[in-house]
Amino acid sequence: MAGTAAQTLQRGPLSRRAGSRPGALGRWSLRGGAFLYLGLFVLLPVAAILERGFGNGLTNLTEALTSFGAWNAIRLTMTMALLTAIINGAFGTLLAYVLVRIRFPGRELLSAVVDLPFAIPSLVAGVMLVALYGPSSVVGGWFEDHGLQIIFAPPGILLALLFVTLPLVVRSVQPVLAELDREEEEAAHTLGAGGWTTFRKVVFPALRPAIAAGALLAFSRSLGEFGAVVFVAGNIPNETLTAPVFITQLINPSNYGGTGGPDQAAAVSALLFGFAFALVLVTEKLVSRPSEGHSA
């Protein structure tokens, strides 16, 4: 804080209050810019959803939830999101372990491939999955002959969600694993614990918050995913119609011969979105705790 004192001296006592940090004017213009930006772009649209959805009580919500295929869309979305979180929780942890702890040729390449879903448009991800696992391809045809339809069926939805959320658990676990003190593991090893026991008793407990955070993010991302899913799901009401696709149909009911409208869509959106937002906030808590521990 030596700079602060020097600055105050230089400018004299009159500007003491404004002198030390960026002046009050600068601070308030920054704040003003930030608040205006977030207020207009984030808060206002959310307010619109709430007002239009619940402006006349719960009527819109009940109408939305009783329309054709609503409950099954929500159930399917929840199930798929849960499976995605579990599967990518496990494989994401494995990938993070392999990337951090094992040296092998092509490690950098594998790390880049894990990030690929961040870069690839989700709709293109859907097209990729159809190209490989669709009924007209060799692989998809083989599975179909053996009684398993992948594309235009729930397994396709699951694959799309796994693709889109692949980086989340890996990137959440990786830094924690890299920071982890290896002495404890070596101690466990010396005491005769096998690799699996060491992982289960020493490594896994330390990674648990990071795995949970990544899996929760994957879950909430899966609840809302549209681009990849709409392409592979087939969108058959009560069978492969997910909640986000259901909402698009609710916005323009005339296109799909259903009932509803933007207000009904707003009500059911508010519900889903409140749930997903709560999950993201919980995740932030999980992530911020260990990092605070490190900086302390």
Partner 1 sequence: MSAPVPEQAQVAPTGNRATPTRRRSAHARRARLVRALLVALALAYVLVLVLLPLAGITYYALKSGLGTIGETFSQPDVLHAFYLTAVIMVVAVVVTGTFGIIVALVLARDRFPGKLLVSALVDLPLAVSPVIVGLMAVLLFGRGGWFEPFFAAQGIQIIFALPSMILVTIFISIPFVIREVAPVLEELGMEEEQAAWTLGASKLQTFFRVTLPNIRWGLLYGMALSSARAIGEVGAVLVVSGLLQGRTETATLYVFRAFEQYQDDQGYIVALTLAAFSILLLIGIETFKRKSLKAAN
- Please report, as residue ranges, which positions from 186 to 205 form the binding site for partner 1 (by CB under 8 A): 186, 189, 195
Helices (H), the chain: 2-11, 16-19, 24-38, 44-54, 59-66, 70-101, 107-119, 122-133, 138-145, 154-179, 183-190, 195-198, 204-224, 227-233, 243-251, 253-256, 262-295
- Residue number, 148 or 281, with CB nearest to partner 1: 281
> Exposed (0-12), middle (13-18) or buried (19+): which is 251, by Cβ within 10 Å?
middle
- What residues from 81 to 110 belong to the interface with partner 1 (CB under 8 A)? 91, 94-95, 97-98, 101-102, 104, 110
213, 241, 247, 286: which one binds partner 1 (CB under 8 A): 247
Torsion of the alpha carbons at 158, 161, 167 and 170, rounded to the nearest 10: -40
Shortest gap between Cβ of 27 and partner 1 (angstroms)?
A: 6
Which residue, among 121, 213, 126, has the nearest Cα to 162 in the 3D structure?
Answer: 126
Query: Residue 143, interface with partner 1 (CB under 8 A)?
Result: no
Stretch in the footprint of partner 1 (CB under 8 A) among 65-73, 78-86, 202-210, 280-288: 280-288
Shortest gap between Cβ of 260 and partner 1 (angstroms)?
A: 12
38 contact partners, CB below 8 Å, separation of at least 6: none
Shortest gap between Cβ of 238 and partner 1 (angstroms)?
A: 19
6, 58, 86, 148: which one binds partner 1 (CB under 8 A): 6
With CB under 8 A, what is the number of residues at the site for partner 1? 94
Query: Residue 212, interface with partner 1 (CB under 8 A)?
Result: no
Query: Residue 262, interface with partner 1 (CB under 8 A)?
Result: yes
Helix (H, G, I), strand (E, B), or coil: what is residue 230? Answer: helix
Shortest gap between Cβ of 255 and partner 1 (angstroms)?
A: 10
